[in-house]
Structure 1
Amino acid sequence: MVRTVYSPEYCLQYLEQYASQESFVLGLILGQITDARENIIHLARTPEEKSTDTGSESSYTSEKTECVRNLLGVSEAWVADHAKHVTRMLPGGMFVQGIFITSDEDVFEDPNHFSKIKTILNFTHKILSSNPHMFGNYPHSNERLILHMSTSTKVLTCKSMEVGSGKTTSIKPVEWKFLPKPQQWQRLDCYYEFDDIYPIIVKKSGISVKQQFQQILEAAHKTIQSSVMFIDGELKDGSDALEQLIKKKRPKNSTKAQDVPKSMHVSLFVPFESSLPETVEYLECDGSIHFSGVVSSSVFMYPKATVSEAIAAVKQDIIRSLASRFTMHCDALIDDNLLPEEKVCFNEPPRRVLVPVGALYLCDYLFPGEAPAEALLSVKELLDLQITENDVVCDVETPADTSEFDALDRDASSEELLATPQEASQFMYITGICFAMFVLIVSILIHYYDAIAQFMGKLLTRS
């Protein structure tokens, strides 16, 4: 059975625009795969390669560009870097599904060009798979799309190849269909609240901010994966299609699409662990990190997708958003030392904003003090789109209010500092020295166990 993908009509116009210029262009194919259908949402041209002296990952800010005139001159590392930045902007359930090319050469028949395509796709797959929380967890098979438009004949050809297998690569034909009407999407909104304290344990070899955040991300991933998802306050059957839920929500005697609610509200409930541990160990820590606030999540699903697929997309979106913020925040830090000299250090990771792409929204992240104009630069550079400041939705998350922390005395106790309430839409973390407080809590738990044990022993003796 031939693989079929669907994309909006403007993707064809986008390809023809570059093909008519008779210039070589390479870019990314962005989309979503469900059991019901595979949808392409956007084609994003990879920017001209930029050279820097540092060779850092964030080289997109450089002004010096190197024009690549054919496929053989493309750097696979540069394409993979573009895929990493773009994936951060994708909501859960959406991925980089392959590459597109406009050129005069037949990239499928020329062995040198096809070998280059294999190198690009395999290297990009390797880089993205190295961080599954942010870039990986690609659904279904490891087949990636290759879309080619000839600049001379304007003929469009799409094929797929498997990546990461290490075996002989075989290419398969793919049927690409353009939709004259905009694709319908079902939006699911979720606000996941964080109010957790994580211990900081500094070993002899030391620990960096990135290392600690990775441990926190693993813990958050485990918690979110174990949670139960309710849609509009109800627990749904995982095999049900989202469109079935939409029909139930539509008012009776109404067939108008505008009568359907624009979005579904999603709530994640973490199961309560009723069983206490049999033994409690002392944990000597050097400090703590307090995460407080809410991560905003907006996921767009094909209406025929199942509830299970929607659940996976929402959970993935929250984890991907956390991983993106952690990485961006760590890259912006001057000092990688986890414990500051001050007793308490307030940090605000970048907040999420939404940017329109066709009939749905992708996202970007703004650091404190940055204006929506910063998002316009990312959208232009990474997605090859022109939008205005009014198009950027900035109210899904609000900046944290730091006024209360600015007024606090640095010598105040950690217990007082961690008791400050925060607005639901803020997301931040606080690091501080809390060894005494943590040991006190553990001591109380052990004392509680001893008291219960003595009480049960007396009851057994009397009986």
Structure 2
Amino acid sequence: MVKAVVGEETQLKLLEDRLIHSGLPSQVGLVIGKLNSDLDRGFVFDLIPTPPNDAGEPACSLIEAARDDKNKGSKGKSQVGSSSLFIDKDWVAEHARQVSRMLLGGIKVVGIYVWTSESSFKNSTLTLCQTVKGVAEASTLLKLDSDDRLLIHISYSPRRWICRNCSLASNITSSSLRPCDFKLGRVLSSLQTFQCTYNFDLRLPVCCETGSNLRKPVDILRHGISSHAKELQSAKAIVDGNLVSEEDLYASDGSHKVEFLLPFMKESFLACGNKEIDGLVVFSGSVCSFAYLNSKEPLSQALLNIKEDIIMSLQSRLDIMSDESGDDLSGEIDESMEQHFLHLDLKSLRKQRSLSFPRRVFVPWLADSYICDYLQSSETVEVLKEHCVELMSMEAPTDASLILEPEIVAPTLWANSFSEVAIPFSSSKSSPPIEKRNKELVLDEESLKKHAKSADFSIIAAVFVLFAAIIVGFFLFIKSSYTQ
């Protein structure tokens, strides 16, 4: 349970000044940072306001309580109730979902903040707790590493900061909030940077007896990524060229290079045994990942953050492609329609299909840290700048050279058709590269017999020639002896 929280003084003071001068009666937004249950501490890097919704309405507003005229006093005074908060919980959760895709290993959406008076906060604790829960569900792609989330109240009447811990382990009620120590300090300057380029090649055969819930490439790939996450967890790490002990503190400053040594790869085709295969999904490419480690955290935390970041990056790309390809699924899907084949039953495909996924690009954020975004092949960095302004409430970089694009080649998905995988010799069309290699290695029984007969004949002919040569040589030797 998080008992103490340290906030980045520079960023939080800037936000407080903006709120004071804005004159807004209320505001809600996301808390970005790290929570470490082992240390019982939290670190807050920044607070990001939730933008207005599509209708231009704010995500948070005050609701004045109705007057109660029934209890008028003798002097004719009416009792006026205190105001409470209205929060568009779904919109705040959607903001959290999109922001979480832009955050790198270890840095996450760890809660919400609210700017309001003390009285309206007290009248809205249940609404705030429900908002925290919605944000946690929307921003978590992997298993929760902590059941804690933060609720930071910036009060302007009276002026003060209050931080509370909201536990997700039990039913959300107003009693779920627990106070925790909060102070401002320098947390960004002490972060260590770890960078990893991870190459992956997921080959996912689909057996005929596979359940009906794993018939579409999008579902098959999502299941394959989850399975690969378990393999990645057991990988050994090399940091700066040295095999390391994960429990050690890594005191070296600067940026560190990380490589992972996966255990001996289990042949994925063995999962099908002797069963027939309906199709094959191949997802391959590279993921560039960053993680940021606090000086008090062990190296194992950075390695765990990178592993989670790799898997979350793959899942985020799949979600982006799935969302875009699923927008026009109201009618019948045409297999020829670009990227819609993600939602087709794999058995219905009649040819091999491929699809390029978005590339991950990196934008300077706070101090020496980065955030990321995903660009399609047809998109430019201008889209990235818009996302930075709208979602992260930050100034977009004007110098394009500051944007890192280490993923030169985008990850690619290949989906082999049912007919080419299950009946590879039935089509006269050219086969995928994998099947070509298989054909070159496979000889049918009739061909083997022909080769065997040919080999027997060659041996007999060679013996006959050798025997004839010996006889001829013998007669020539005798003839030469008589001549002498």
TM-score by length of 2: 0.71
**What are the within-5 Å matches in structure 2 for residues 140-289 of structure 1?**
142-166=147-171, 169-179=175-185, 182-201=188-207, 205=212, 207-243=215-251, 246=252, 260=253, 262-272=254-264, 281-289=273-281
Q: How far is 1:341 from its partner?
A: 4.9
CA distance in 1, matches of 2:311, 2:268: 27
1:386 pairs, out of 395, 415, 437, with: 395
Q: How far is 1:287 from its partner?
A: 2.1
1:88 and 2:89 matched: no
Could you say what secondary structure the match of 1:365 adopts? strand
8 Å Cα contact 2:203-2:281 kept in structure 1: yes
8 Å Cα contact 1:297-1:317 kept in structure 2: yes
1:43 and 2:52 matched: no
Structure 2: runs of 5 or more not aligned:
63-83, 329-339, 425-433, 445-484
Once the two structures are superposed, residues 309-337 of structure 1 have per-residue CA deviations (whole angstroms, 9 ceiling, x without a partner) of 11111100100101100100111115221
1:315 and 2:307 matched: yes
Could you say what secondary structure the match of 1:286 adopts? strand
Instruction: Among all aligned residue pairs of Structure 1 and Structure 2, give the percentage whose two residues are the same amino acid.
Output: 25
CA distance in 2, matches of 1:125, 1:180: 26
Residue 171 and residue 108 in structure 1: after superposition, are their counterparts in 2 closer, same or farther (change >3 A)?
farther
8 Å Cα contact 1:22-1:103 kept in structure 2: no
Give the aligned length. Answer: 382
1:327 pairs, out of 315, 319, 322, with: 319
Once the two structures are superposed, residues 63-87 of structure 1 have per-residue CA deviations (whole angstroms, 9 ceiling, x without a partner) of x322342263212222111111111
Residue 230 and residue 181 in structure 1: after superposition, are their counterparts in 2 closer, same or farther (change >3 A)?
closer
Structure 1: runs of 5 or more not aligned:
51-63, 247-259, 401-425, 448-463
CA distance in 1, matches of 2:388, 2:310: 21
1:428 pairs, out of 397, 412, 421, with: 412
Residue 121 and residue 6 in structure 1: after superposition, are their counterparts in 2 closer, same or farther (change >3 A)?
same
Q: How far is 1:286 from its partner?
A: 2.4
TM-score by length of 1: 0.74
Residue 124 and residue 265 in structure 1: after superposition, are their counterparts in 2 closer, same or farther (change >3 A)?
same
Q: What corresponds to 2:407 in structure 1?
A: 397
Q: How far is 1:154 from its partner?
A: 3.1
Residue 96 and residue 204 in structure 1: after superposition, are their counterparts in 2 closer, same or farther (change >3 A)?
closer
Residue 180 and residue 235 in structure 1: after superposition, are their counterparts in 2 closer, same or farther (change >3 A)?
closer
Once the two structures are superposed, residues 183-210 of structure 1 have per-residue CA deviations (whole angstroms, 9 ceiling, x without a partner) of 2221111111112321134768572333
Aligned partner of 2:145: which letter? Answer: Y
Residue 78 and residue 47 in structure 1: after superposition, are their counterparts in 2 closer, same or farther (change >3 A)?
same
Q: Which has the larger radius of gyration?
A: 2
CA distance in 2, matches of 1:276, 1:88: 29
CA distance in 2, matches of 1:238, 1:77: 39
Q: What corresponds to 1:292 in structure 2?
A: 284
1:363 pairs, out of 354, 372, 379, with: 372
8 Å Cα contact 1:347-1:429 kept in structure 2: yes
CA distance in 1, matches of 2:149, 2:272: 49
1:372 and 2:356 matched: no
CA distance in 2, matches of 1:196, 1:42: 36
8 Å Cα contact 1:19-1:102 kept in structure 2: no
Could you say what secondary structure the match of 1:72 adopts? strand
CA distance in 2, matches of 1:13, 1:384: 12
Q: What corresponds to 1:353 in structure 2?
A: 361
Q: How far is 1:122 from its partner?
A: 2.3
8 Å Cα contact 1:350-1:365 kept in structure 2: yes
1:115 pairs, out of 126, 129, 140, with: 126
Q: What corresponds to 1:137 in structure 2?
A: 144
Aligned partner of 1:191: which letter? Answer: T
Aligned partner of 1:307: which letter? Answer: L
8 Å Cα contact 2:165-2:177 kept in structure 1: yes
1:32 pairs, out of 23, 31, 34, with: 34
Q: What corresponds to 2:79 in structure 1?
A: none
CA distance in 2, matches of 1:121, 1:232: 39
Alignment RMSD: 3.1
Could you say what secondary structure the match of 1:6 adopts? strand
1:103 pairs, out of 116, 120, 130, with: 116
Larger relative CO (CA 8 A, sep 6+): 1 or 2? Answer: 1
8 Å Cα contact 2:205-2:269 kept in structure 1: no
Aligned partner of 1:166: which letter? Answer: N
Residue 396 and residue 8 in structure 1: after superposition, are their counterparts in 2 closer, same or farther (change >3 A)?
farther
Residue 182 and residue 120 in structure 1: after superposition, are their counterparts in 2 closer, same or farther (change >3 A)?
closer
Once the two structures are superposed, residues 172-229 of structure 1 have per-residue CA deviations (whole angstroms, 9 ceiling, x without a partner) of 3223222268522211111111123211347685723331122111222122112111
8 Å Cα contact 1:46-1:82 kept in structure 2: yes
Could you say what secondary structure the match of 1:374 adopts? helix
Residue 278 and residue 163 in structure 1: after superposition, are their counterparts in 2 closer, same or farther (change >3 A)?
closer
